[in-house]
Amino acid sequence: MDWGITNRLARIIRPETGRTVMLAVDHGYFLGPIHRLERPAETILPLLPHADALMLTRGVLRACIPPEVDKPMVLRVSGGVSVVGPALSDEGLTVAMEDAVRLNASAVAISIFVGTDHERQSLLGLTDLVDTGNAIGMPVLAVTAVGKELAKRDARYLSLSCRIAAELGAHFVKTYYCEGFEKVTSSCPVPCVIAGGPKLETEMDAFRMTRDALEQGAVGVDMGRNIWQHDHALAMIQAVRAIVHAKATIAEAKDIFDGIAGRGRATKARARKR
Ligand code: R5P
């Protein structure tokens, strides 16, 4: 890989551990003001010190993130559809590479929709982006989207999508965790990060998913709702971070979470005495 692409990727996937905690806050590009991202800056800025990179749209980047922030930005550059429109898979490119460079992005992200009516258009969008990314030194993250068809989140479909993304030149891939996830990572020759998906019932579920994904070959997370839709978002991101970078067990992650969320044993004992 060219020096520029390698250098930008190394800002996202931390060389010290070979892992990353990306904070995904791009949901508004098709969901509008999703719960707890209604005022993006209020949600994002307190979490930012604990993330290795931020995944977001250029609108939120320009409007809500101070330009002095020293974090790599992964810019979503696909969209053009909405959750109330006819087809979530009918995305196109929404940002010119020139604007991504102007914003000093560290990578650009595009969704691909394998197996849908818009498969070809999304895959050719990926290859166009890889061509302009390679020409300019910009890594491309392919997101293996499933739209509303959550049933597609199995190892057979996700390994097909991730492998196609890598074959077409994506520099790294974002996908979902699933049963048999090792099949997905072992057949994908570029690094994989996992999305968190819809908010899980408990924080332990999110910790378990993170640990299992890492054990089965993911290089990290690009997590959104399971962090910022939680009542204790700051505790969530720090506990997930400990699993990713410090190899914390899920029990240790829970202790970190409880301590920061004020749910620790000492805090509970103090509360009982009052
Ligand atoms: C889709 O809306 C976006 O690409 C998100 O960045 C992605 O789904 C990750 O966020 P979450 O962890 O909330 O699924």
pLDDT of residue 267: 53
pLDDT of residue 258: 97
Helix (H, G, I), strand (E, B) or coil at 223: strand
Residue 243 lies in a domain: no
pLDDT of residue 153: 84
% pLDDT > 90, the chain: 92
pLDDT of residue 146: 78
Residue 240 lies in a domain: no
Looking at residue 144, the DSSP 8-state letter turns out to be: E
pLDDT, tens digit, for every residue of 233-262? 999 999 999 999 999 999 999 999 999 999
**Number of domains into which the chain is organized:** 1
Question: How many alpha carbons lie under 13 Å from residue 236 in its C-beta half-sphere?
Answer: 26
Task: Identify the residues whose C-beta falls under 6 Å from ligand 1.
Answer: 24, 26-27, 55, 143, 195-197, 222-226
Rounded (5°) CA angle 22-115-82:
60
pLDDT of residue 263: 78
Neighbours of 10 (CB within 10 A): 13
Bigger pLDDT: 240 or 270?
240
- Closest residue by CA, ligand 1 atom 14: 197
Positions marked active-site: 174
**The tokens 């068809």 sit on which residue?**
149
Asked whether the predicted pLDDT for residue 271 surpasses 70, the reply is no
Q: Which of 30, 27, 23, 13 is nearest to 49 (CA)?
A: 23
Minimum-distance ligand 1 atom for the alpha carbon of 222: 9
Residue 264: pLDDT band by 50, 70, 90 thresholds? Answer: low
pTM: 0.94
Residue 110 lies in a domain: yes
**The tokens 């044993």 sit on which residue?**
265
Residue 150: pLDDT band by 50, 70, 90 thresholds? Answer: low
CA–CA separation, 266 vs 270, rounded Å?
6
pLDDT, tens digit, for every residue of 39-75? 999 999 999 999 999 999 999 999 999 999 999 999 9
pLDDT of residue 257: 97
End-to-end CA distance of the chain: give it in Å, rounded: 60
Residue 246 lies in a domain: no
Residue 133 lies in a domain: yes
Residue 30 lies in a domain: yes
In a mutational test of the pocket of ligand 1, which residue from 26, 34, 209 has the highest number of ligand atoms less than 8 Å from its CB?
26
Bigger pLDDT: 271 or 21?
21
Average pLDDT value for residue range 193-217? 97
Distance from residue 33's CA to the centre of ligand 1 (Å): 14
Residue 272: pLDDT band by 50, 70, 90 thresholds? Answer: low
Residue 153 lies in a domain: yes
- Secondary structure of the chain: what % helix, strand, coil (to 5)? 45, 15, 35
Residue 118 lies in a domain: yes
Residue 166, domain CATH: 3.20.20.70
pLDDT, tens digit, for every residue of 77-118? 999 999 999 999 999 999 999 999 999 999 999 999 999 999
Amino acid (1-letter code) at residue 228: W
Domain that holds residue 100: 3-230
Nearby residues of 252 by Cβ (< 8 Å), 6 or more positions away: 242
CA–CA separation, 50 vs 257, rounded Å?
13
- Asked which of 19-23, 82-86, 144-148, 169-173 is least confident by mean pLDDT, the reply is 144-148
% pLDDT > 70, the chain: 94
